[in-house]
Structure 1
Amino acid sequence: MTVSNARARDTRAFDIHGFDIHSFDIGTLDIRALDRHATVVALDVLRLVRREHLELFTPCAGWTLRDLLGHLVAENRGFTAAAAGSTDPAAWHDDSLGAEPWTDFATSAIVLTAVFAAEDLLERKLRIRELGFLPGTLAMAIHFVDIVVHTWDIARTIGSHRAIEPELALAALEFARQWESVRPPGAFGVAVEVPADASPGDRLVAFLGRTPFGRTA
């Protein structure tokens, strides 16, 4: 049996109409390798998820862990369809989950990783949700930031204090800062202040509206 989360979600990363997509720069970073590594970390964290965790609320306002997994699965399916050339908006709304949502995520993630490995993907334009056609590098960066931060959300929800690896955190922070000016309220959250010596992971989650481990809101 599959269950679809009926509650509407705002899945926008930013208002693309206020952002010069050609100004986005990944520098010398290997976005494909980063996204693949972030996916492996997410799969590792998901091994700790149990059925009793699914109805717990996450750092994403109003979302239970089941809702969050539905979002991640829908995103994986949407990016997979876009990489295959689909321009159908409906491809982004399949958040149906089976009895074991972590299995749905794993399946969708493995398929997406294979699709993202296409040699020409980064040079192509992909239709991403309502954002329109984006360069492959930007599309993959959006997926990368989303999965890095939401993996932290999952860990926090189930009581794991696993930190975001510095390499992933620094790259995600660099990308997210580039589209900060066009990020709408509610897309992630209002930035939280952290000390200057905060870890890269703490700086990332704080920038995207989360309260880091060991700190109070």
Structure 2
Amino acid sequence: MLITELLALHRTAVRTSVEIVSRVSTDDLGKPTPCSEWTLAQLLAHMTAQHHGFAAAARGQGGDLAAWKVSVSSRPVAEYAEAAEDVLAAFAEPEVPQREFELPEFGAWFPAMQAIGFHLIDYVVHGWDVARSLGLEHRLAPELAGPALRIALAVPDGESRLKPGAPFAPALDADDEDPLNRVLTALGRSPKW
């Protein structure tokens, strides 16, 4: 896959998440999420911080830990949308395809293609998380199905997923042909949540 194709898919995943988050009301912020340790307000704070951190990494400033700071906002929906636009603008900068992204939570540097893939899969899954918290059905955009599944299946499984703070739980058995459900189970989420 070319980086231009990956960036187009990434835009679709992020913009879809913005559409879903736009449906969140103040009354929803205390709701539980498939991320069992977080309420919806805490999940949105995490998602917003990740946008800021990845935007910084795309601009060569991923080591600035302030960019990754999570804080619960009094205007979570608006701040989420602003952060999403920031990461999309950062990823669209011409130097990005040649850049290595410093991602402190992994303690390493990654080529742009891999880092963008990480961010894409996170927002496919977190878009679903928010939709489920709101009790909404969520379908994966058809063009995202194959690429998102390939990325999800490439995420290493095993003991590392049991550690505190692991981004994904151990993979679950999948007997479903639905691409989104296969992505979710590969990353330790139950589609039945």
- Greater RCO (CA < 8 Å, at least 6 residues apart): 1
* Alignment-mate amino acid for residue 134 of structure 2: I
1:47-70 residue CA offsets vs partner (Å, 9 max, x unmatched): 211111111110012111111111
* Alignment-mate amino acid for residue 135 of structure 2: G
After TM superposition, list the pairs within 5 Å mapping 1:23-172 onto structure 2: 26=1, 30-130=5-105, 131-172=107-148
Tell me if structure 2 keeps the 8 A contact 1:53–1:158: yes
* Alignment-mate amino acid for residue 31 of structure 2: L
- Structure 1 residue 167 displacement after superposition: 2.6
Give the unaligned 5+ runs of structure 1.
1-25
* Alignment-mate amino acid for residue 188 of structure 1: F
After TM superposition, list the pairs within 5 Å mapping 1:170-185 onto structure 2: 170-181=146-157, 184-185=160-161
Residue 200 (structure 1) aligned to one of 169, 175, 179: 179
Give the unaligned 5+ runs of structure 2.
none
* Alignment-mate amino acid for residue 118 of structure 2: I
1:168-208 residue CA offsets vs partner (Å, 9 max, x unmatched): 23212201222324782143112222325x21011111111
Tell me if structure 2 keeps the 8 A contact 1:43–1:106: yes
Tell me if structure 2 keeps the 8 A contact 1:206–1:212: yes
* Inter-partner Cα distance in structure 2 for 1:175 and 1:184: 17
Task: State the identity %.
Answer: 31
* Inter-partner Cα distance in structure 1 for 2:76 and 2:58: 23
* Alignment-mate amino acid for residue 193 of structure 1: D
Following superposition, which runs of at least 4 residues in structure 1 exceed 4 angstroms of deviation?
26-29
How many pairs were matched up? 188
Tell me if structure 2 keeps the 8 A contact 1:32–1:116: yes
Please name the residue that 2:171 is paired with. 191
Per the alignment, in what secondary structure is the counterpart of residue 194 of structure 1?
coil
Per the alignment, in what secondary structure is the counterpart of residue 160 of structure 2?
coil
